[in-house]
Structure 1
Amino acid sequence: MVLVTGGTGLVGSHLLYFLLKKNEPVRAIHRKKSDIHSVKKVFALYTSEVDSLFNKIEWVEANITEIPALTVAFKGITKVYHCAAFITFNPSKYKILKKANIEGTANIVNLCLANNIEKLCYVSSVATLGNNLQNQLVTEETSWNPDEKNSVYAITKYGAEMEVWRGTQEGLNAVIINPGVILGFSPDGGGSGVIISLGASGIPYYPSGAMGIVDVQDVAKAMIDLMDSEITNEQFILVSENVTYKELLSKLALLFAKKPPTKKLSKKIMLFLSGMDWLSNKLFMTKRRLIKANVRSMFTLSFYDSSKIKNELGFQFIPIETTLERIAKETGKASN
């Protein structure tokens, strides 16, 4: 039986569908407050047999930071897909990030070792990779630079990777994927939903940065392909295309019959607003909405090379136009 953590999230929910589609017996863990039935919204995008497919999942209430419940969830498991993570770029949330992403992953690794799990697939991020000089493509060999202004999220995801590599030194077979910005419908409205909403709204402004993007379907399929392969103790960048924010927002605007953005944002002004946002939080306890790490990423040119998975698995990514057209339809379908 296969175990999936983070089954109600963006990656986990789509992964569950593709695992069930190939008739894999699946157990998924969920936190007490999570809505497992929200996964049906994702299944409905693929099939009309939503309930029959959903009912094949064995749901277990467990948090990756709670070892007793996790221990029960691991009984009879042969493979583990670790998708669960806490995502925020707010420095004040570092302790929560560390506990969930680093300690939680350490728990998963330790239980994999204790239960002789055949293979672990860990969902990391391109945020854990370093930046090459002169805008060269970032590869799996691009080293993490601790002296960079890394976000607290990136720091904890890198720490989680170290736990996985530690596990491989102790005999665990594992693969790590490093996806870029994942585009797709999320049952909780998170993930890339903010970017989709901005593009769909026809926002007139755009930042000057660039990023690597990937379809959530590609992420799920790559994970399954890697787990079914003989490849172990390797990591793979998952980026279908590198695009500027202007390009992505323009493509989305046109799909939603809106005007593409034409006004370039000022980095200095955005950093000033971020500072005011921080001050407001300290003085009046308002919610942080413009984290400095997010602002820096909006103005950073990040380009990634995903040729490794293409060469080793013959993997083919879904074209960005196909992804965005599908998301536009999914967004309309979900709102009806």
Structure 2
Amino acid sequence: MKILVTGANGFLGSWVTRALVNEGHHVYALVRPKSDLSELSGVQCKYVHGDVTDVHSLLEAFKGVDTVFHLAGVIAYKKSQRHLMDKVNVEGTANVVSVCREHKVRRLVYLSSVVAIGAGYTPQDILNEDSAYNISDLNLGYFETKHEAEKIVKKACDKGEINAVMLNPSTIYGAGDAKKGSRKMQLKVAQGKLKFYTSGGVNVVAVEDVVQGILSAWKNGRNGERYILSGENILIKDLFAMIAAEAGVKPPPYQMPDSVLHTVGAIGDAMEKLGLKGPLSRENAYTATMYHWFDSSKAQKELGFKPRPAREAIHNSVQWMKDQGLLK
């Protein structure tokens, strides 16, 4: 069985590719000619050059493919990167769907995100697959582009054009996650360098559990359905405390008031317009003060998804940092 993975050289993509190879499948990693392939070191997959933003490259790469795992995407929180997110996350997904339809690919497994579902404003807001998308007025680039991309996949399923399943993982922790650009804050916590935390909440899920959920959804997930792959809902304060405890350092002692964070975000946006690097953006500020809390009951019931405690996922993340000498 020929399987193709987009975004195979990323953090989650490499874990998925390795798991598929270990199951004995013929796996092709779609990569750009100058991609960093270090995440796939030792993985016995084949490489095919292509780019989700170039539909012609996909027409060649998808020939004879049984299943496409579409993980390629851009995570960013700055206005200057919105165009790139539109191009990769939205247009790229539309291209993947189009070529799957044209080549009659048997199954598309689309890696969306919980951001496509939305976020809560209070600890009482715990979202599931049926929750209404409630943050469009904030126009947060990453949230909006993943939401739009998922709608493209869903529409093609509803019209009977493709067979696909959509997966919405929460914040993934595990060995190697510290390499992600979006984890600079967590690395600072583990190094004992961060002095503040914010008011919001996150959902922590282990990479091993997400991979298991993805493979189960491929085999057992219902066509056109979305499944949240989430673990434990915790406050950002408690997340940072867990990271610090695993690293053997003191946790950030001060809570930054929401008003201060939003002011700093606005200043950051203004600096960016002037071509300067700001401390953080307005989108960072909103993301850090909302409650990204989710319920994975549907995946647990239909996919046999069994998320482990957050502390275990964070332990594996911090242990990798230690092994790499990042905490000296």
Task: State whether TM-score is above 0.5.
Answer: yes
- SS of structure 1 residue aligned to 2:324: helix
Q: What amino acid sits opposite 1:163 in the alignment? A: I
Residues 127, 295 of structure 2: 8 Å contact kept: yes
In structure 2, what is the Cα distance between the partners aligned to 1:304 and 1:210?
Answer: 10
Partner of 2:272: 281
In structure 2, what is the Cα distance between the partners aligned to 1:107 and 1:147?
Answer: 24
Residues 121, 291 of structure 2: 8 Å contact kept: no
Which of 243, 257, 281 aligns to 1:252? It is: 243
Q: Equivalent residues in 2 for 1:208-223 (5 A)?
A: 208-223=199-214
Q: What amino acid sits opposite 2:154 in the alignment? A: W
Deviations 1:3-42 (A, max 9, x none): 10001111101111111111111001112331113322xx
The structural deviation recorded for 1:199 is 2.2
Partner of 2:134: 145
- Computed over aligned residues only, the root mean square deviation of the Cα atoms, in angstroms, reads 1.9
Residues 242 and 267 of structure 1: CA distance in aligned 2, closer, same or farther (over 3 Å): same
Residues 10, 191 of structure 1: 8 Å contact kept: no
In structure 1, what is the Cα distance between the partners aligned to 2:167 and 2:185?
Answer: 22
Unaligned ranges ≥5, structure 1: 41-49
Q: Equivalent residues in 2 for 1:74-93 (5 A)?
A: 74-93=62-81
Partner of 2:231: 240
In structure 1, what is the Cα distance between the partners aligned to 2:154 and 2:257?
Answer: 40
Partner of 1:183: 173
Identity %: 29
1:194 aligns with 2:176: no
Partner of 2:324: 334
1:100 aligns with 2:88: yes
Unaligned ranges ≥5, structure 2: none
- SS of structure 1 residue aligned to 2:211: helix
Partner of 2:286: 296
Q: What amino acid sits opposite 1:235 in the alignment? A: R
Residues 130, 145 of structure 1: 8 Å contact kept: yes
- SS of structure 1 residue aligned to 2:252: coil
Residues 231 and 190 of structure 1: CA distance in aligned 2, closer, same or farther (over 3 Å): same
Residues 62, 103 of structure 2: 8 Å contact kept: yes
In structure 1, what is the Cα distance between the partners aligned to 2:70 and 2:102?
Answer: 16
TM-score, structure 2 length as denominator? 0.92
- SS of structure 1 residue aligned to 2:148: helix
Residues 204, 234 of structure 2: 8 Å contact kept: yes
Residues 219 and 5 of structure 1: CA distance in aligned 2, closer, same or farther (over 3 Å): same
- SS of structure 2 residue aligned to 1:302: coil
- SS of structure 1 residue aligned to 2:248: coil
The structural deviation recorded for 1:153 is 1.1
Residues 146 and 230 of structure 1: CA distance in aligned 2, closer, same or farther (over 3 Å): closer
In structure 1, what is the Cα distance between the partners aligned to 2:285 and 2:138?
Answer: 12
- Number of residues of Structure 1 aligned to a counterpart in Structure 2: 322
In structure 2, what is the Cα distance between the partners aligned to 1:191 and 1:212?
Answer: 19
In structure 2, what is the Cα distance between the partners aligned to 1:24 and 1:103?
Answer: 28
Residues 152 and 192 of structure 1: CA distance in aligned 2, closer, same or farther (over 3 Å): closer
TM-score, structure 1 length as denominator? 0.90
The structural deviation recorded for 1:132 is 5.8
Residues 210, 303 of structure 1: 8 Å contact kept: yes
Partner of 1:320: 310
